[in-house]
Amino acid sequence: MNGLRGVIAYTVKKLRESGLYRRTFVQKILYFALPNEMRNELFVPYLYGPYSAGIQRVVQYLEDNPSYILIWEKEMDDAKIKEAIDKLIRFINDEKITTTHLSQLAKVHFLLTNTKGDIERVKRKSISLGWDELIRKDGLIEYRLQELRTLQKEIRDLS
């Protein structure tokens, strides 16, 4: 896929238009919207969930130079990713998803992907990454997993 900065600019623009702009939303929407190979290449575990320093640098640049949003957005060349971003923003808006909630969904997805779906390994790994809020409340991981399944149906397969 060409035009990653276009994808980022498109996401920033759509979040601003919807009144939902937050850096965490940009990171997590792109985490879910990008293809697996890009997701695995760009994102690493961080306190607030999967995080990409490269994406964050582009977002910061766009905040400092907002005129580039319209210029770079034209580089967006993947209709499937664009549709996923639009659906994710609608989902966040319709379900009143907070940044904390979306971060938990991304954390659970990241852990499930990296532990081959073993819930006990997910729980152990969440502690080692400092994501212990996922295990403090009984059943939260399982509940977020159910929400992930709904989200997958909403946009596309996120595995």
Is 104 in contact with 144 (CB distance < 8 Å)?
Answer: yes
Return the pLDDT at 1.
47
State how far the Cα of 100 lies from the Cα of 25, in Å rounded to an integer: 10
The predicted model scores a pTM of 0.92
Tens of each residue's pLDDT in the chain, 159 residues: 458 999 999 999 999 999 999 999 999 999 999 999 999 999 999 999 999 999 999 999 999 999 999 999 999 888 999 999 999 999 999 999 999 999 999 999 999 998 887 889 999 999 999 999 999 998 999 999 999 998 888 776 554
Q: Where are the domains of the chain?
A: 4-154
By CB atoms closer than 10 A (0-12, 13-18, 19+), residue 111 is: buried
Residue 29 CA to residue 12 CA, distance in Å, equals 10
